[in-house]
Chain A
Amino acid sequence: MNMRPPMKKLKVATASLSGCFGCHMSLLDIDERLLELAKLVDFDKSPITDIKECGPCDIALIEGAVCNSENVHVLRELRKNCKMLVAVGACAITGGLPAQRNRFDVGDILERCYCDMPGAQTRVPDDPELPLLLDKVYPLNEIVRVDYFIPGCPPSGDALWKYLTDLISGRMPRLDYQSFRFD
């Protein structure tokens, strides 16, 4: 018998590091195509699932830049477990608007926010539960190797759909001119 073997569904993990969740909202913006996506992939660790530890995955979609120690931990976890790591959005690719803090001293910023503002507390939160901020905001590719980049702030739903379906079907991802945006 000439039976086609059932196609193995790809596993996808997603994460938001120092992101605004806008790129995830843009992913939801593919609307009813989400049902099609659900036929093609299973989601592993992601803000839209309840999985706490990342298992072996095919694709990691990561929005947001790296701004604190926990971001580094999550980023390395996904890099270790995923075959393809995709930087999604301006923050993940360039540091984005959060990287505008890079011209200031991180200690000064914390004191300004937690001590100097009217009605603020009197000290910078120091509970060990809280991850420490890094000296600067870093794009993903300055911490781990990144395989693919989807530009945009956020990338449009159409851009994400085009890029993901290209990736899933093994094509070299391309974006048409209308979908290619940095803003």
Chain B
Amino acid sequence: MTDIPNTFNLDGEPIRFEPGETILQAALKAGHFIPHLCFSPEFKPHGSCKLCIVVVNNRTGSSCAMKALPGLEVQSDTPDLNHRRRTLLQMLFVEGNHFCPGCEKSGNCKLQALAYDLEMFNDHFTHFFQPREVDASHPDFFLDRNRCINCELCVRASRDVDGKDVFGLAGRGRNSHLVVNSPSGKLGDSTFAKGDKAAEVCPVGALLPKGQGFKKPIGARLYDNAPISQSFGVKEEV
């Protein structure tokens, strides 16, 4: 019996992986970018944003949830998949209020950076303009649910790293929204603190530190000069 090498093909290039890794984990480790929003290498995969969609042996799936296996033929950077990703981004944009010109996260935002990288010229769909609650009760942080994309990174960070269980999702369908685990439902009444892991994981402008906005000059922000597909390992300095 011969050993089968632990590699699969991503857009024609061989990617090595450790047994048990997902396609997305292995690709990112090897320096190959697959667009993603709800995935972070530090946390368990979530599978809500669907941007990491790939075609594996002619079947479509989320690369963050599919295990890498020897010899898989994976397609990611194709016009069809990028078109689908653009549609997913447009759905996220119309579902919330993503007024980038007035958002403190602009230039450092993963959602925006992916929209740039995939050349999303418009939002295409009818905007929801849902009135969602803004929570500014915490002394150091505020929560703008209108920008939240329900990626649950803060939920996972608070539960798995901080051991606090501050955040969760409630409601169903389009009413699904982020809630705070405190008697009043307010962030200020929870055990959330500014040193928490959950305080730094939000990929968009939903959970932001107070009194910190617009610190970086335009041109020096995270995604100002290089697209996210070329700078995905870089972290925002806080």
Residues of chain A having any CB pair with chain B under 8 Å? 87, 90, 93-97, 99-100, 102-103, 136, 139, 141-142, 146, 148-151, 153, 174-175, 177-178, 180-183
Contact = CB atoms under 8 A, between A and B. Distances in A.
A26 B129 CA distance: 28
12 contacts: A90-B99, A94-B98, A99-B127, A100-B97, A102-B129, A136-B129, A142-B126, A146-B122, A151-B121, A153-B101, A177-B227, A183-B107
Nearest to A153: B101
Contacts of B226: 177
Nearest to A101: B129
A112 B98 CA distance: 26
A101 B121 CA distance: 23
A90 B100 contact: yes
Contact of A139 (B97, B116, B123, B225): B123
A116 to B, nearest CB: 21
B121 A99 contact: no
A97 B102 contact: yes
**Residue with the highest number of chain B CB atoms closer than 10 Å, among A150, A151, A181, A182:** A182
A84 to B, nearest CB: 14
B116 A153 contact: no
Nearest to B119: A180
Contacts of B99: 90, 94, 96-97, 99-100
B102 to A, nearest CB: 5
A141 B127 CA distance: 10
A136 B126 CA distance: 13
B116 A94 contact: no
Interface in B118-155: 119, 121-124, 126-127, 129, 131
A93 B101 contact: no
Contact of A94 (B106, B112, B123): B123
A172 to B, nearest CB: 11
Contacts of B121: 93, 148-151
The contact size tier of chain B is 20 to 34
A48 B39 CA distance: 49
B123 to A, nearest CB: 5
B72 interface: no
A182 B131 contact: no
A95 B93 CA distance: 12
Contacts of B98: 94, 182
Nearest to A102: B129
A157 to B, nearest CB: 15
A68 B98 CA distance: 22
B106 A103 contact: no
B101 A97 contact: yes
Contacts of B119: 174-175, 180
A45 B180 CA distance: 53
A96 B122 CA distance: 12
A62 B227 CA distance: 28
A90 B101 contact: yes
B106 A182 contact: yes
Contacts of A100: 97, 99, 102
A151 B32 CA distance: 28
B103 interface: yes
Interface in B64-123: 93, 97-103, 106-107, 112, 115-117, 119, 121-123
A171 to B, nearest CB: 15
